[in-house]
Structure 1
Amino acid sequence: MAGRSRPEAAVIASPHNPRIQAWARLKMPRERRRSGRFLVEGPHLVAEALHDPGLEAVLVAADRAEAPPLRSIVEAVEALRAAGRPISLVRLGAAAVRRLAETETPQGIFAVVRLPSPEGAWSAIVDRAPFILVLDGVSDPGNVGTLLRSADAFGAGGVIVGPGSADPWSGKVLRSAQGAHFHLPICTLAPEGSGGSAYPAGAEDPCGAVGLSEADTSEATSVRAAASGLTAALEALRRRGVQILATHPRDGIDIEAVRPAGRFALVIGNEARGVSPAALRLSDQNVRIMQWGRAESLNAAVAGSILLYVLGRHRARFLSGEGMGR
């Protein structure tokens, strides 16, 4: 077809090819941070990534590129390339596919995407998001992915991932979140005093450890305010009038009784230890889910999803006027 872009010429067959090796290293957290890129796998996530301005390359199994469901994705990539988007479209041999795959049964398609701008993510969340999810040491990747998916479903405007939480850009989290990464700003905090960064070297990093400024008078100061970890991030939220709600299994009010009228953030704690003492000290209101059965507790992802649903419903009713005067 005239004007139709085609995949780059040769099939990359060897798993030892330098490009395959570089892409495969994106499965490691250190390489994601160093390069500022992450790898997604599977047709659903790759289709979601097509809408992301950070999409750099789509990698497809050569023997499946003309069969559904991959054919429609390849055609969409070709259309984007024809429209001027600088996206590589690379065909892979079976051994190269296996080298990149994290799943037991590879679906034959991957995408390489740039990590979002740390400045943009921080500003979108702290300065503008009305409803924020904060993860305080949620360590299981499946739980983190499920909570991101629920935040996306129930109207959260962004997610702050505190120290000790699973890397939100890992393959398991990406698969569990089912595309939420491409809908929500996500800011990952480094531990206080670590000097570390969740983003590549050289980037201005609101999520690294630089120290907390006494005043919050400019965007640059605002960016540094999150730098010393979760405590500083919550303090930055409070300075902007964001109400902090922290989960607590005993010392909390029933979530059904909470009626947040302004901006608010929900803090979900570690699976075993709960919300950290530092975060609890900054909480404006501790909340919990009332239980009537005999189960001692709920899984962090289940509990967090219920809380996100209830708070999202309250917010939707408030915005529609249904909750006024109650």
Structure 2
Amino acid sequence: MITSVKNEKIKTLKKLHQRKYRKQTNTFLIEGTHLIEEALVSNWVTKEIIISEEVSVPEAADNVPIIKVTEQVFKELSFTASPQGIMAVVEMKKEDEVSGEVIVLLDAIQDPGNLGTIIRTADAAGTEGIILGDGCVDLYNDKVIRATQGSIFHLPIMHADVEEAAARLKEADYNIWATALEKAENYKELSIPPKTAIIFGNEGAGVKESLLETADERVTIPILGKAESLNVSIAAGILLYYLKN
């Protein structure tokens, strides 16, 4: 039982709150029973589990080292105001090329909640993979991970230059869609291609012009009320379910 927040192990774990230490160690923290259960049944490697006193160890964690800490120490490590008393260190997975009928490309999505929700929605809709471009929020940010609700462990995700990725996908006979508010076709009026790569852009600036110019289709979702636009994660949900219908 670790009882001090000054313990070296605790100091090392606390560093994983920072992106640079996550990159250095190729590991990240997840918190909460559901996320840990999802990680344990995936093909990601859970390196160790940290539990607060009186919290039970998950059944699936048979071969995972357990670190027990006091409630006070756990609060020092926790990302949340009301911690569940369980977290884990997970190893970042080697990225593979994504392929399939529908691929999502994300251009500078900066809000952690939006990125996490898009990942969760893409997983639910049966999308085959996601490509994260430059300027996107860190995939292993705790708010991103919590918003995925475990889908981060079930959907292929890779980092790449979006323009280069779009060019490669175009050569592989993907139809490139880019979301836009102007000079765009209503998505309902477009037939669904055999293979589609769809680009979603930054919350404020949208998809950059260079990507819009290379797209086969600029697509839009009609705004029927007085809202100026849709949240990007909501737009992703509508279009991904349309493409996978």
Per the normalisation by structure 2, the TM-score is 0.94
Determine which of 90, 106, 112 is the counterpart of 2:89: 112
Name the structure 1 match of 2:73: 96
CA shift digits 1:44-90 (9 cap, x unpaired): 1011010233211111112222xxxxx5x1x3212xx2xxxxx2122
Q: 1:188 to 1:95 in 2, by over 3 A?
A: farther
Matched residue SS, 1:168? coil
Q: How many residues align?
A: 244
Structure with greater Cα Rg:
1
For structure 1, the 5+ residue unaligned runs are 1-10, 66-70, 82-86, 190-228, 314-326
Counterpart Cα distance in 1 of 2:6 and 2:244: 48
Name the structure 2 match of 1:24: 14
Determine which of 175, 199, 209 is the counterpart of 2:146: 175
Q: Where does structure 1 differ by over 4 angstroms across 4 or more consecutive aligned residues?
A: none
CA shift digits 1:99-123 (9 cap, x unpaired): 21111111111111111102x2xx2
Determine which of 37, 49, 57 is the counterpart of 2:39: 49
Counterpart Cα distance in 2 of 1:158 and 1:16: 41
Counterpart Cα distance in 2 of 1:282 and 1:90: 51
The answer as to 2:136 corresponding to 1:165 is yes
Counterpart Cα distance in 2 of 1:298 and 1:235: 27
- C-alpha contact 1:161 1:187 (8 A) present in aligned 2: yes
Name the structure 2 match of 1:14: 4
Matched residue SS, 2:49? strand
CA shift digits 1:108-139 (9 cap, x unpaired): 11111111102x2xx2x0xx322111110111
- C-alpha contact 2:42 2:154 (8 A) present in aligned 1: no
After TM superposition, the structure 1 = structure 2 runs for residues 67-216 of structure 1, keeping only pairs within 5 Å, are: 71=57, 73=58, 75-78=59-62, 81=63, 87-118=64-95, 120=96, 123=97, 125=98, 128-189=99-160
**% same residue:** 34
Name the structure 1 match of 2:204: 272
Matched residue SS, 1:181? helix
Higher relative strand content: 2
The one-letter amino acid of 2:209's match is P
Per the normalisation by structure 1, the TM-score is 0.72
- C-alpha contact 1:138 1:166 (8 A) present in aligned 2: yes
Q: 1:12 Cα deviation (Å)?
A: 1.7
Name the structure 2 match of 1:310: 242
Give the RMSD, CA atoms, in angstroms.
1.4
For structure 2, the 5+ residue unaligned runs are none
Matched residue SS, 1:266? strand
Counterpart Cα distance in 1 of 2:26 and 2:100: 24
Counterpart Cα distance in 2 of 1:99 and 1:32: 18
Q: 1:247 Cα deviation (Å)?
A: 0.0
The answer as to 2:54 corresponding to 1:63 is yes
Higher relative contact order (CA 8 A, sep 6+): 2
